[in-house]
């Protein structure tokens, strides 16, 4: 293994929590991890990164004390957990916060990791139910919460039967997927089932009723069923028509907040969690799926002092009766490179759409580029290049290549 040190030009100040924490973040490739690392650094804490991708956004950030290259959690799970144990001990870590889909592998080894530090993760059994699109749908429905009609499909024969029985518009997607990978929207008119290597009892799909309306996303920090921090944001601009959001603007929405509060209280969840919603023309919100990990809503909490407290000392924030939310009128955020791609697509839309995109672009901060910490901006090109090479060799999409070594599809339950 190799380590990399980042230069520090100033002394570490005592954090607003009253204690300087040594925090280990996993998933250094993600913009949310970079943004949180900077928030932690500004609050006076020491940030360390464990990442299985050689090039990642946090690798060159001045907000990071030290980075280490670790084995793939997906392909070498035991070696990955052993590496985390080793570095938690060496770095004397106080809190471990998994940020991306490696959260499932960390949860699987949480008992051994908790012998050395606090681990911000729920149980693997609970995470699996939330990640599995059909099981999550059934769980929410059992609580009386609004969700779209959803059917489980485990074989090509069931796929064909569903196409004959179901009327109206339906979305088809794997129960284990991320960033809308492989999603088949109703307007595309797919009828042939996926190959047996991608549709089976071990890798089922769902057919979910398509609801017309506005897409909304949430991000929350939860402690033992209590909301500690929460934000709702819209998803106007994405990577592709149904991909990941690249522009983030806070939305005051009591409907999504009430839905989330009901759900996390009923499940006694702890950790970071996000939900994707559709709000129909009547104002009713339906939860489409759950992401039991960090999501892009983190970007709305900039500069993030209160969010840092919520993550590091949730018991204290809870005792104060505070729910951390983004500051009113806070700056909008974006991922500049994919946002440019969204802008190119607007050229072929109406003039009003292009004008709205330009206004959004001009009013948002780039999450990756910071004047005092510029190197991650240039590192992202190396990240994309490495992912492109992997995508080409594995014959997968660029988005899939970015999570190829950390994604979790129900293994080791």
**Per residue in 23-56, pLDDT tens?**
999 999 999 999 999 999 999 999 999 999 999 9
Give mean pLDDT, residues 150-167. Answer: 91
Give mean pLDDT, residues 300-307. Answer: 91
If asked whether residues 37 and 168 sit together in one domain, one would say no
Residue 8 confidence (pLDDT) above 60: no
Residue 332 confidence (pLDDT) above 60: yes
If asked whether residues 221 and 172 sit together in one domain, one would say no
Residue 388 confidence (pLDDT) above 50: yes
As given in the structure block, the two tokens for residue 140 are 């929410």
If asked whether residues 293 and 323 sit together in one domain, one would say yes
Between CA 193 and CA 163 the distance in angstroms is 10
Q: Which H helix or E strand runs over 218?
A: strand 214-223
Residue with token string 């500690």: 228
Number of domains, the chain: 3
Examine residue 200 and state whether it is found in any structural domain, yes or no.
yes
Residue 374 confidence (pLDDT) above 90: yes
How far is C-alpha 319 from the chain's CA centre?
27
Residue 304 confidence (pLDDT) above 80: yes
Examine residue 398 and state whether it is found in any structural domain, yes or no.
no
pLDDT digits (tens, 9 = 90+) for 203-222: 899 999 999 999 999 999 99
- Per mean pLDDT, which range of 60-74, 98-112, 346-360, 395-409 is the poorest? 346-360
How long, in residues, is the chain? 413
If asked whether residues 321 and 200 sit together in one domain, one would say no
User: Residue 337, Cβ neighbours under 10 Å: how many?
Assistant: 15
DSSP 19: S
According to the model, what pLDDT value does residue 19 have? 87
Contacts of 376 (CB under 8 A, 6+ apart): 34, 57, 58, 59, 60, 61, 368, 369, 370
Between CA 339 and CA 361 the distance in angstroms is 8
Give mean pLDDT, residues 379-397. Answer: 91
pLDDT digits (tens, 9 = 90+) for 237-281: 887 666 788 999 999 999 999 999 999 999 999 999 999 999 999
**Runs of H (alpha helix) within 225-326:** 254-267, 305-312, 314-319
Q: How confident is the model at residue 9 (pLDDT cuts 50, 70, 90)?
A: very low
Do residues 240 and 307 lie in contact, with contact meaning Cβ atoms separated by under 8 Å?
no
If asked whether residues 226 and 204 sit together in one domain, one would say no
What crossing angle do the helices spanning 351-362 and 336-346 adopt, rounded to 10°? 160
- Per mean pLDDT, which range of 74-83, 176-185, 365-374, 392-401 is the poorest? 176-185
Residue 188 confidence (pLDDT) above 80: no
If asked whether residues 306 and 191 sit together in one domain, one would say no
If asked whether residues 223 and 317 sit together in one domain, one would say yes
Average pLDDT, the chain: 89
Do residues 339 and 247 lie in contact, with contact meaning Cβ atoms separated by under 8 Å?
yes
Domain extent for 298: 214-366
If asked whether residues 222 and 362 sit together in one domain, one would say yes
Strand pairing category for 22-26 and 95-98:
parallel
* Residue, of 338 and 51, whose pLDDT is higher: 51
* Residue, of 355 and 50, whose pLDDT is higher: 50
Q: How confident is the model at residue 197 (pLDDT cuts 50, 70, 90)?
A: low
Domain boundary among the residues 209, 232, 254 is at 209
User: Residue 327, Cβ neighbours under 10 Å: how many?
Assistant: 12
- At 31, which CATH number? 3.40.50.720
Taking alpha carbons only, the member of 46, 296, 264 closest to residue 140 is: 264
pLDDT digits (tens, 9 = 90+) for 94-147: 999 999 999 999 999 999 999 999 999 999 999 999 999 999 999 999 999 999
If asked whether residues 359 and 224 sit together in one domain, one would say yes
Burial class (CB in 10 A: 0-12, 13-18, 19+), 178: buried
- Per mean pLDDT, which range of 202-211, 221-230, 321-330 is the poorest? 321-330
Give mean pLDDT, residues 359-383. Answer: 93
Do residues 301 and 153 lie in contact, with contact meaning Cβ atoms separated by under 8 Å?
no
According to the model, what pLDDT value does residue 136 have? 98
Q: How confident is the model at residue 65 (pLDDT cuts 50, 70, 90)?
A: very high
Domain boundary among the residues 106, 121, 136 is at 121
Residue with token string 């990399």: 4
According to the model, what pLDDT value does residue 295 have? 95
């Amino acid at each position: 293994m190799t380590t990399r040190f980042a230069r520090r030009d100033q002394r570490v100040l005592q954090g607003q929590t009253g204690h300087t924490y040594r925090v280990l973040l996993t998933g250094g490739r993600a913009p949310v991890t970079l943004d949180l690392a900077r928030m932690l650094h500004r609050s006076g804490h020491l940030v360390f990164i464990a990442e299985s991708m050689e090039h990642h956004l946090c690798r060159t950030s001045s907000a990071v004390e030290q980075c280490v290259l670790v084995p793939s959690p997906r392909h070498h799970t035991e070696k990955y957990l052993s590496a985390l144990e080793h570095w938690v001990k060496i770095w004397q870590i106080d809190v471990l916060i998994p940020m991306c889909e490696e959260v499932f592998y960390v949860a699987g080894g949480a008992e051994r990791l908790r012998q050395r530090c606090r681990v911000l993760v729920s149980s693997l059994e609970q995470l699996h139910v939330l990640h599995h699109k059909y099981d999550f749908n059934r769980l929410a429905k059992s609580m009386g919460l609004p969700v779209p009609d959803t059917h489980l499909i485990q074989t090509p024969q069931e796929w064909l039967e569903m196409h004959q029985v179901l009327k109206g518009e339906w979305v088809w997607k794997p129960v284990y997927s991320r960033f809308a990978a492989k999603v088949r929207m109703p307007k595309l008119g797919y009828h042939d089932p996926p190959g047996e290597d991608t549709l089976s009892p071990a890798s089922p799909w769902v057919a979910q009723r398509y609801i017309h309306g506005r897409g909304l996303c949430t991000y929350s920090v939860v402690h033992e069923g209590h909301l500690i921090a929460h934000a709702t944001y819209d998803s106007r601009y994405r990577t592709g028509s149904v991909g990941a959001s690249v522009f983030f603007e806070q939305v005051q929405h009591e409907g999504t907040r009430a839905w989330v509060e009901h759900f996390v209280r009923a499940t006694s969840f702890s950790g970071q969690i996000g939900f994707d919603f559709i709000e129909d023309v009547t104002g009713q919100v339906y939860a489409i799926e759950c992401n039991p990990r960090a999501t892009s809503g983190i970007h709305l909490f900039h500069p993030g002092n209160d969010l840092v407290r919520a993550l590091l000392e949730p018991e204290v924030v809870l005792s104060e009766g505070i729910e951390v939310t983004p500051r009113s009128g806070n700056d909008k955020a974006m991922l500049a490179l994919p946002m440019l791609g969204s802008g190119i697509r607007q050229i072929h839309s109406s003039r009003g759409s292009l004008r709205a995109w330009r206004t959004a672009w001009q009013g948002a901060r780039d999450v990756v580029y910071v004047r005092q910490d510029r190197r991650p901006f240039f590192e992202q090109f190396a990240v994309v290049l490495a992912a492109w090479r992997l995508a080409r060799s594995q014959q997968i999409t660029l988005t899939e290549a970015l999570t190829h070594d950390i994604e979790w599809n129900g293994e080791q339950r």
